[in-house]
Amino acid sequence: MSNPNAHDIKVLNGLIETTLDSADGYAQAAEETTDPHFRSLFERRSEERRQVVEDLSAAVSGLGGDPEAHGSILAKAHRAFLDVKHALLRNDDSVVGSINSGEGFIAAKFDKALDDTAISATTRETIRRAYASIKTGHDQMEGLKHSLEGQRDASNPLFPQ
């Protein structure tokens, strides 16, 4: 007998996996940065992502499924989401750029899930609520990226004073 909620569970577990990758990426960034402001920001964002995972996991359990407990193998083997070590060797705006790229990836996954016409209204609402947190993080990293780019440009000797 198959679970009538199988599709919703599959979609939610895919989001859990990606969100776990994001949380792990932020935790790694927090460990690797020497900037206390970035460390605090990345730790906070990692915790927020873990809360999203808890919320999505509760929804999967409520649908009679087993929540995903691990991120993707690809992300563990090759941190495509966030190559922190490489980025930190360059500069702060590089690490933020890498994080911003990962934020774009996770936001696209949530957008795709919300566009899925086969999910139930209840699951769509669960995803929408979780996406609100994801979107906040995405927007903050986008703003930080642009701020760092502006600082870099402002220190350029060709920048008009």
Q: In this model, does residue 135 exceed pLDDT 70?
A: yes
Q: In this model, does residue 45 exceed pLDDT 50?
A: yes
Residues contacting 26, CB < 8 A, separation 6+: 42, 43, 45, 46, 49, 82, 99
Q: In this model, does residue 129 exceed pLDDT 90?
A: yes
pLDDT digits (tens, 9 = 90+) for 61-107: 999 999 988 766 555 543 444 454 555 455 555 666 677 777 888 89
Token digits of residue 130:
């979780």
Rounded to whole angstroms, how far apart are CA atoms 29 and 84? 6
41: nearest Cα among 112, 92, 108, 104: 92
Q: In this model, does residue 160 exceed pLDDT 70?
A: no
**Who has greater pLDDT, 7 or 27?**
7
Task: Read off the pLDDT of each residue in 55-65 and give the average, rounded to a whole number.
Answer: 96
Residues contacting 59, CB < 8 A, separation 6+: 12, 123, 126
Q: In this model, does residue 120 exceed pLDDT 80?
A: yes
**Three-state DSSP state, 90:** coil
- The structural domains of the chain, with segments of one domain joined by +, span 6-152
Q: What is the mean pLDDT of the chain?
A: 81
pLDDT tier for residue 158 given thresholds of 50, 70 and 90: very low
CATH second-level architecture of 6-152?
Up-down Bundle (1.20)
**Percent over 70 (pLDDT), the chain:** 74
Output the pTM of the full model: 0.81
